[in-house]
Chains A and B, each alone.
Chain A
Amino acid sequence: MTTIELVDVAHMYSSGQYAVKNINLKWEPGVSSALLGPSGCGKTTLLKIISGLLRPTHGRVLLNGEEVNHKTPKERNIAQVFQFPVVYETLNVYDNLAFPLRNRHVPETVVRRRIPEIAELLGLTDKLKHNSAGLSASDKQLISLGRGVVRDDLAAILLDEPLTVIDPHQKWHLRRRLKLLHHRFKITMIYVTHDQHEALTFADQVTVMNNGSALQTGSPQDLHSKPQAPFVGYFIGSPGMNLFDAALTGNQISAGRYSLNLPQDTAKAIAGQSLKIGIRPEFVEIHAAEQPHSIPSTVKEIYLTGSSKILDLYGADLHFKARIPDTTTLHVGDTVWASFARQWLMIYADDEAVNLPLEETVR
């Protein structure tokens, strides 16, 4: 069981651009975790730094508190599964799975015991004698995974967008196997993806990355209810968070004709910073009649998503979206009363969340 820790890690490629910077992250043993972010945000770079394929230009990689910056992937004993399935084509499935063990000169008696066990878990038992080159992408990816978990002293398994080239109907199957392996071996898994659905359904702990920085680490619920950065707000959720550019006048922060009263010391602390107000579409409440602090809004567009409706609204000089159950009858052009659930309102000052009690008014 291994704790993985990154301290002040940064990496610069030869182009002079930082791929990742100021990374401080920690993974407890046995955690199932995801790195989520758009393409090019540095998540793959981070993965390679953990596995040892890349040595970071700054900072330290710690395994169980011991610095391993200078150690090779083999010495770190970390497995990695790549976006494109890698199999050794001249070896059959059995020999592929045995490859990492034989590289480490594990006795053949152990290999003969271990491989059928792993094959059983992966559902590859009847394919052990098959040629690996002719298999489906999904089976090849299972083999890549198998080559990782076959080592019983493995510190962690890193997955770099492992479902990208897998057929949709096989994705579910593969992910189920992945969860099974995690459950069986209690192995630390770090899963890189740009697909929020994949990340949020797979992992207990998700780190959202953008532009080389780790913005927030938390449970899927945390990321949804309390996004600590505007990017986390609109990257996670479908549609993403409503974000309004805001201005400060005295103790009052306002966007359009919507205002909130801030405690005086908070207002002082954020004065002069770039401000945003955020609210998730799920937390925009729609009423048929006026309520305290509600915004008269016009329905501009209605999108049906099956179980719910997404409304495009305009009110208090703001454009925003609301997600409501598909039970209410509404038409484009109708006027409704929208209110923002107070406990879910977020304020961001220079892209960082300000958590505080709020009082709202609509002029």
Chain B
Amino acid sequence: MSIRNNRAWLFVLPALLVMALNAFIPFITVINYSLQDILPGLPAIDVGLENFQTVLKDDLFRNAFVRQLGFSFLILLIEVPLGVAIALALPKKSWRATVSLIVLGLPLLIPWNVVGIIWRVFTRSDLGIVPLFFNALGYDYNVALNPVDAYWTVVIMDVWHWTPLIVLLCYAGLNAIPDAFYQAAEIDGASSWRTFLYVTLPRLRSVLTIGILLRFMDSFRIYTEVFLLTGGGPGTTTTFLSDVLVRKAVGGFEFGYAAALSLIYFFVILVISYAFFLVLTNVSSGSRTR
């Protein structure tokens, strides 16, 4: 189709403006920063790719990156099977289902900073129920001093907060599976495990793809809850990438470094998410979801 005059641009202009303010301008600004050495009040100096080199050589970044990958994969390994299991266990289409979904969905409604504060209170050694519980079992739990306690508390907090998302997605996915598929499996004499493997799981693939992508991207950017619960400590046990970024940009005024880190960060999320997407949509090659 050919455009005979330029008036068509008027129609896309509002969208372009929004896109510019929302995406292009901030993105280009960050790219600009990443190539400069900036100190507030002084003229910026072009430094080429020096900031990127600094970031990639920085142990703080490297360790946080590895820790971040480990964390994201760990919570996916826990939340996805757990979410699917809970969704399968939920009652189908009755008031019980509605009640269960509302109760399960509550953590999703809580603002992230409140989640952090709730867990901070839970785990305080003077009044929290978590230390009380472990102390009663004879284990000396301390989120502020013990790295193992701190790390697993962050993991469990994330599981508590976000497994309901997987549950909701899977529940919707399960309800979309026509009864005939289960009836056919029953007629074919499939065990419940084989029914799950060959009917349920393949039919959940698209919702699980969305769930895994969302959970990966979000967990990879985790900041607020951890900051409020452990502040990244003890030591650097729970210091994730966004924590490093904030420390550099806000605490250290290293805008060039922070901008370069953001871009690397962004790129990593993009690449890994795309890899997930490719893997999940090609579980059986050539198949399409209806």
List residues of A whose CB falls within 8 A of some B CB.
Answer: 48, 51, 53, 72-74, 78-80, 82-84, 86, 88-91, 99-100, 103-104, 131, 133-134, 144, 147-148
Contact = CB atoms under 8 A, between A and B. Distances in A.
A80 B184 contact: yes
Given A84-B178, A99-B198, A104 B189 contact: yes
B183 interface: yes
Given A89-B284, A133-B287, A53 B186 contact: yes
Give the 4 A-B CB pairs with smallest separation, nearest first.
Answer: A133-B287, A74-B189, A86-B184, A103-B189
Contacts of B191: 103
A304 B286 CA distance: 49
Contacts of A134: 286-288
| Interface residues of chain A: helix, strand, loop or mixed (majority) | mixed
B290 to A, nearest CB: 9
B187 A80 contact: yes
A147 B186 CA distance: 12
Nearest to A76: B187
Contacts of B188: 99-100, 103, 147
A51 B187 CA distance: 8
Interface residues of B, number: 23
Interface in B170-216: 178, 180-181, 183-184, 186-191, 194, 198-199, 201-203
Contacts of A133: 284, 286-288
Contacts of B286: 131, 133-134
Nearest to A130: B286
Contacts of B187: 51, 53, 73-74, 78-80, 148
A356 to B, nearest CB: 47
Interface string B227-259: 000000000000000000000000000000000
Interface in B141-190: 178, 180-181, 183-184, 186-190
B285 interface: yes
27 contacts: A53-B183, A72-B186, A80-B184, A80-B187, A82-B180, A82-B183, A83-B180, A84-B180, A86-B180, A86-B184, A88-B202, A90-B198, A90-B202, A90-B287, A99-B188, A99-B198, A100-B188, A100-B189, A103-B188, A103-B191, A131-B285, A131-B286, A131-B287, A133-B284, A134-B286, A144-B184, A147-B188
